[in-house]
Amino acid sequence: MIRAAATESDVRSRISRLYPVEVLKIKQLEGYDDLNFFLECRSEDDGATYKYVCKVVNSQDSQKHEIVESQNRLMEYLGKKGIPVPEPVPNNWLQYFSLETFGTTKHLIRLLTYLDGSKLNDFSPSTELYFNVGDFTGRLYSALKGYKDDELIKKKSTWMLESVPDVHQLLTSVSTPELREYARLAVKDFEDKVIPVIPELEKGIMHGDINEHNILVRDNSVMGLIDFGDNCWGPVLFEIALCVAYMCLHSNDISTGKHVLAGYQIHRPLTTVESKIIKSCVCARLAQSLVLGCHAAMEDQGNAYILSSQKNGWPVLTKLLVMDDTQIIDTWGLTCE
């Protein structure tokens, strides 16, 4: 298991040593590979109370200091562009992370400012909400257009959509043969339709994981975006495809994609090629998320968050796979001339 064996007490003592604050409250939050903690602290500088999120990075990513530094640069850049994201907080040595030992493994520990708002996952489905999510994703695209970072450009990750073919090796993690076959079909479709056209797709830096747990909302308006652990470079279509996949999971309704895409295309209309392959990208992400979730659950059985997408994920994937291009065009309001 790559997650840190860290308790709230462990984190409290580390934060008190590393930062000029007194920890008043601490609560563990949900997370996949990283440990996340909500903190309420009193500053030793001005005596005021501030809220933070402490991230204890998984052991694999903790070996890649340069990736964490690239995440910090990206959050700083987006903040200056008016996109509400967390800000890295320097420690007593003016560093934005520290390498600490928890149990037998070393993990980076970092502090980020806390963004107000509730996770989209806690909200009921609505047309307005999904349109606003699409609009926000489009604004994010505009803010990131032209942004370059060598570390992110060369980054490779199991969770990148371009890594979907690797899912073949993990299909045995899915215990039900029928579901395993659905995942295999989605991966094969991605290999046949998307991989060949990747060279002609627009590329850029992406957040890489715009899902219902990473979007902060208030009154159906998007208030911010968190969790920058999956930032990457690749076809920008993948960003909105991932977003559509997760919003369909949240609503348990495939037609949700229409509202997300309507908001997004105010800022960036899909090309004809992108419109033809977005369904394949959405299905591939669903299969990737579901299979990786099954695989991770075998190693971290106590983490319910890992399997949070399973309930709606398989039904949504199954319905999408049997829809032909004409049905998708009509359902999502696409143009494929």
- Give the pLDDT confidence score for residue 76 in this predicted structure: 96
For 109-155, the pLDDT digits (tens) are 999 999 999 999 999 999 999 999 999 999 999 999 999 999 999 99
Residue 229 lies in a domain: yes
- Give the pLDDT confidence score for residue 299 in this predicted structure: 75
**What pTM value is reported for the model?**
0.94
Q: Is 26 helix (H, G, I), strand (E, B) or coil?
A: strand
List the chain residues with pLDDT less than 70.
300-307, 336-337
Residue 38 lies in a domain: yes
Give the DSSP letter of residue 226: -
- Give the pLDDT confidence score for residue 301 in this predicted structure: 62
Provide the domain count of the chain. 2
| 144 and 109 in a common domain | no
Full residue range of the structural domain in which residue 213 is found: 118-332
* 143, 238 contact by CB (below 8 A): no
| 94 and 126 in a common domain | no
The first and second tokens of residue 128, run together, are 């307005």
* CA separation, residue 276 to residues 48, 167, 270, 286 (Å): 53, 23, 10, 18
Residue 337 lies in a domain: no
* 107, 74 contact by CB (below 8 A): no
Q: End of a domain among 55, 80, 113?
A: 113
Residue 231 lies in a domain: yes
For 37-89, the pLDDT digits (tens) are 999 999 999 999 999 999 999 998 899 899 999 999 999 999 999 999 999 99
Between CA 241 and CA 244, with CA 242 as vertex, the angle to 5 degrees is 65
- Give the pLDDT confidence score for residue 44 in this predicted structure: 93
* 60, 38 contact by CB (below 8 A): no
The first and second tokens of residue 146, run together, are 């032209």
Contacts of 46-51 spanning 24+ positions with Cβ under 8 A: 49/24, 50/21, 50/113, 50/114, 51/113, 51/114
| 146 and 108 in a common domain | no
